[in-house]
Amino acid sequence: MPRAAVLLSGCGNRDGSEIHESVCAVIALDRKGWDIVYTAPAIPQQKTVSYIDGRELPPRDALEESARIARGQIVPLDEIQLEEIDSVVIPGGLGVALTLCDFAVNGASCSTNPEVNSFLKNAHEMDIPIGAMCIAPTLVAGCLPGTTLTIGSDKATAEKIEKMGCRHMECPADKSVVDRQNRVVSTPAYMTATGPAQVLEGAISMVTALEELLNNRKD
């Protein structure tokens, strides 16, 4: 069965991986019969907040927090063997734009965590399809200029993606945009979704497209 590496950045939409999006991605993969390996870099989160009152909390480790979503079954990013991976899936959440890269702070001038940057670039060079949800396409844009992506219909974010050398396409929450040349699929998720049902439909669309890319490898 194909294996997907689900790249996480913590646990929760305000400072880590968005939980609904992570679960929807996993359900979509599981329904298609994919094996799943959860991964995250073992680095401090750039921001940790209280989900009750919004106050900032002491920093937590992205790997430790991501393990909550993975039910404890998680592999540090630097231990992932890309030769054993058929696709990479990146749920959204502010952790992507704060910890995996700093898009939330620096916009189009953002930089990416070196370990994450190498991981995604190496996956791309090996023709491994990449799926990105919600704000995660900004991370992909920082690593893979020239890619066609979607974050839904937010014009300000779309303009920043295009300043990063990528093309943005509008897309509803329950669909996905496929860049066949660069083997990247993106779906808006909670950038535009009104609830988890739309997020799940978008995740299913994304995984279906990833499967098609996997079955049609580049020569």
- Structural contact between residues 214 and 183, judged by C-beta atoms closer than 8 angstroms: no
pLDDT in tens, 76-123: 999 999 999 999 999 999 999 999 999 999 999 999 999 999 999 999
Instruction: Decide if pLDDT at 217 tops 90.
Output: no
pLDDT of residue 218: 55
Lookup: tokens for 27? 């359900």
pLDDT in tens, 8-67: 999 999 999 999 999 999 999 999 999 999 999 999 999 999 999 999 999 899 999 999
CA 120, 24, 19, 135 torsion-angle sign: positive
Question: Which domains are delineated in the chain?
Answer: 3-215 (3.40.50.880)
Provide the whole-model pTM.
Answer: 0.97
pLDDT at 219 > cutoff 50: no
Is residue 62 within 8 A of residue 42, CB to CB? The reply is yes
Beta bridge partners of 24: none
User: Is 62 within 8 Å of 8 (Cβ atoms)?
Assistant: yes
Distances (CA, A) of 44 to 47, 64, 112, 138, 157: 8, 9, 14, 20, 25
Give the pLDDT confidence of 152-193 residue by residue, as tens digits.
999 999 999 999 999 999 999 999 999 999 999 999 999 999
Q: What is the pLDDT of residue 216?
A: 86
Would you please indicate which residues are annotated as catalytic (active-site) residues?
Answer: 134
